[in-house]
Amino acid sequence: MLSDRFDAVVFDLDGTLIDSEPDLRAALNLTLAGHGRAAVTRPQVIQMIGDGVPKLVERGFEATGGLPPAPFESLVTEFLGHYEGKAAALSTPFPGALEVLAALQGLGIRLGLRDRRLLRGRRRRRCAPRHQEAGRPAPGRGAGALEGCARARRHDRR
């Protein structure tokens, strides 16, 4: 039984439990529009997500004609100005995410969230997903909330 193997599960919020792409796309499109660029679509942004905000901004500009002459750091700052404070306006839970959390709670498993916005200003700890610890390839984005970016601590049942 799952509760015999784990006493806690920690989920990464963005891209595992929450579809934050709409908020990321809105901020990216506002940033791009400020430089006379065309808007990018959901499928495009989904392919751009990963490796953090600077990489998302870079990929957005590359997809719409290349980086402008403005200093790159100012583009990232501009994006963050559009994104921060509105980062949950359009985000929604992935289908089944709430049900998985409820099922885990029903088994008595403690739940935790890891999100970079919650960690701002605190010492950050890298939490390797279970599939990386086991040397297995990462599952696809959004695939299986339990396997996704979750890390669980095993019971010591000696």
CA–CA dist 1, 125 (Å, integer): 29
Residue 80 makes CB contacts below 8 A (sequence gap 6+) with: 27, 53
Structure tokens at 62: 């590359």
The active-site residue out of 12, 14, 19, 23 is 12
Instruction: Give 64-67 contacts, CB < 8 A, sequence gap 24+.
Output: 64/32, 64/37, 64/38, 64/40, 65/37
Give catalytic status of residue 12 as yes or no: yes
Residues annotated as part of the active site: 12
